[in-house]
Amino acid sequence: MASIATPTTLTQPRIVTLKELHDKLIPICGGDKWGIDTIGDLWKMGAPIPNVNPDQPEQRILLPGQFQKWFQDVATRTGNDLTARQAYNRTPGGKRASAMGVTRGD
């Protein structure tokens, strides 16, 4: 039986821009329109990070639990054989939200 990922089995929340998330997740979607169209929704579920430089793109916290739910839907639709953890590890590493004082999952 396959193990089910939980937020604690994934890594800590990450801070990402929408472009970074699109760039990493579109290949995982395998051309699935729903998956591609909902990357922005996944990103918007995270809390925005205050931006002191208006020339920089908005960043949000990517929450592991929300990512897991999204990925499970995408994997079911596409037959993707990655685990949720493997897919999450492909998201931009950048700054970890824990380094910004975010310590709780969703």
Domain assignment present for residue 56? The answer is yes
What domain range is 26 assigned to?
14-100
Domain assignment present for residue 39? The answer is yes
Which pLDDT tens digit goes with each residue over 90-102? Answer: 887 644 444 444 4
Question: Between 20 and 99, whose confidence is greater?
Answer: 20
Q: Which helix (H) or strand (E) holds 87?
A: helix 84-89
Question: HSE on the CB side for 83, CA within 13 Å?
Answer: 12
* Tally of domains within the chain: 1
Task: Kindly report the backbone phi and psi dihedral angles of residue 15, in degrees, each rounded to the nearest multiple of 5, phi listed first.
Answer: -105, 120
Give the global pTM.
Answer: 0.72
Which pLDDT tens digit goes with each residue over 53-78? Answer: 889 999 999 988 899 999 999 999 88
Residues 6+ apart with CB under 8 A from 10: 64, 65, 67, 68, 84, 85, 88
- How many percent of the chain have pLDDT more than 70? 76
87-100 CB burial, b ≥16 within 10 A, e <16 = bbeebbeeeebeee
Domain assignment present for residue 4? The answer is no
